[in-house]
Each structure stands twice: as C-alpha cells, then as structure tokens.
Amino acid sequence: MKLTKTKDNSYTFFNEKYQEAYHSLTGALEEAQKKYIEPLGVKDGQVILDICFGLGYNTFAAIEKAKHLKVIALEIDEEILKELQSLEINNKYNIIKKIAREKYYKDKNYEITLLLGPAQETIKTIKETFDIVFLDPFSPKKNPELWTKEFFQEIFNRMKPGAKLATYSCARAVRENLKEVGFIVTDGPSVKRRGPSTIAEKPSL
Ligand SMILES: C[S@@+](CC[C@H](N)C(=O)[O-])C[C@H]1O[C@@H](n2cnc3c(N)ncnc32)[C@H](O)[C@@H]1O
C-alpha cells in the first residue's frame, strides 16, 4: 500500500492488488466533497449507507458537513483500516480512526457502524433504510461484484422513496444496471475529468 499525495494536498493510498488508487489523484478529499457530499445534499438527521469505506473520506466529509447522522459503512479489507491510522487530518478524522479500529462509534451527533466483509453479503443483513448512498468501489473492471444488477437491487430495496445514490462512474453498463432496477439516472458533476459522475434516485411513491 503506497501513500500518495493528491493535487489538493490530501493523501490517498495506491492499492497494489487492484493496481488502483483509492481516490482521484486530482484531489482525494475534494472528490469526497464534490462527487458525494455536495450533489447528494448531505444534511442533518440523515441515514447514510457508505459502500466501500476505504479511508473513510466520504463518511468523514459527511460528518464535517452535518450532525445527527446515522451511518452504516461497508468494507472488506482490514488492511486499509490499519493503514489509515497513520493519517493526520483533524479531530473529526480521529472519529474515523476510532471506527476503523472498533467498528462502532456513538456520540450525541453521530452513530456509525462499520460492517466488515464482502458488501454484496453484508448488505443483506441491514434492516435500516437510507436517505443517501455513497457507492465507491474500485473500477467496474477491477471490482465487478459491486456494480451488478443484483447488488444494485439490494441497495435499491434499502433506500427510502426519493433517496439518492452517488458514484464516480459514468460507465454505460453501470448506468444500465442502475436503470434496470428502477433508479432514475442523471449526470453528477464532472470534477476535473471529462466524464460526469452519476446520481441515481429512487422514485418517490
Ligand atoms: C475506491 S476505494 C474506496 C474509497 C473510500 N470511499 C474512501 O473515501 O476512502 C474502494 C474500497 O472498496 C473496498 N472493497 C473492494 N471490494 C469490496 C467488497 N466486495 N466489499 C466491500 N468492500 C470492498 C476496497 O477494500 C476499498 O477500500
């Protein structure tokens, strides 16, 4: 796992097994902010599903933005949860480090649970329904099990009517799978790259 500085001066890691970085090299924390937090309109009181916790930047950006949040995060790799302990960002990131160690955190503003294991399995144990979903696996080529219609159906079933999901990918096959399970798919922002990201909304009743 190689620590890499990105263009907004925040750090990410490069994963040798997947041969991919955990974030866009144009800016790791900027990516969390611009592709997930802003387009989804994260606000106080929401229930959030963070698929692929990694360094926890998406949950971190959410708790920087809002309070009274309940977050369930999914991650398969204990190794990255150990690696992130070396990052020094600020006090709020210490919450992320604690979750990575203890898999659960609760104070008056946040209740955060981290489920360790393959997301395509752990998602089936979740009874909660969500306002907001971050979908942030490695690329469809490297991490195909998290871009399937079957997995999207499990996500869809756990979203409230009108809830929104964001992902960085705009791949046609990804968007087709999202549409086939019933999402309304629109362009998200393009952040220093040619293609847009994707927003998928569960229709209101
Ligand atoms: C692009 S990184 C996520 C970056 C993360 N959202 C962040 O802000 O740091 C992809 C993550 O997906 C995890 N992952 C890959 N396959 C998985 C699976 N089947 N279930 C759960 N997590 C998985 C990887 O271990 C990695 O941490």
Whether the CB of 93 sits within 6 Å of ligand 1: no
Give a yes or no: residue 40 inside a domain: yes
pTM for the predicted model, two decimal places: 0.97
pLDDT, position 192: 75
Whether the CB of 31 sits within 6 Å of ligand 1: no
Q: What is the percentage of the chain residues whose pLDDT exceeds 90?
A: 94
Give the confidence band of 205 by pLDDT, cuts at 50, 70, 90. confident
Give the confidence band of 191 by pLDDT, cuts at 50, 70, 90. confident
Give a yes or no: residue 10 inside a domain: no
Range of 171's domain? 29-201
User: Phi/psi at 71 (nearest 5 deg)?
Assistant: -125, 135
Give a yes or no: residue 72 inside a domain: yes
The stretch 136-154 carries a mean pLDDT of 97
Asked whether residue 148 carries a pLDDT value surpassing 80, the answer given is yes
Give a yes or no: residue 20 inside a domain: no
Q: What is the pLDDT of residues 106-144, one digit of tens each?
A: 999 999 999 999 999 999 999 999 999 999 999 999 999
Give a yes or no: residue 6 inside a domain: no
pLDDT, position 87: 96
Is residue 201 exposed (0-12), middle (13-18) or buried (19+ Cβ within 10 Å)? middle
Give a yes or no: residue 194 inside a domain: yes
CATH assignment at residue 172: 3.40.50.150
Q: What is the pLDDT of residues 46-95, one digit of tens each?
A: 999 999 999 999 999 999 999 999 999 999 999 999 999 999 999 999 99
Q: In 6-123, where do the E strands start and end?
A: 11-15, 20-21, 47-51, 69-75, 104-106, 110-116
Tokens coding 15 = 């994963």
Whether the CB of 166 sits within 6 Å of ligand 1: no
DSSP state of 139: -
Separation of 87 CA from ligand 1 center, angstroms?
A: 17
Give the confidence band of 195 by pLDDT, cuts at 50, 70, 90. confident
Q: What is the pLDDT of residues 14-42, one digit of tens each?
A: 999 999 999 999 899 999 999 999 999 99
What total number of domains does the chain contain? Answer: 1
Give a yes or no: residue 9 inside a domain: no
Whether the CB of 51 sits within 6 Å of ligand 1: no
Give a yes or no: residue 90 inside a domain: yes
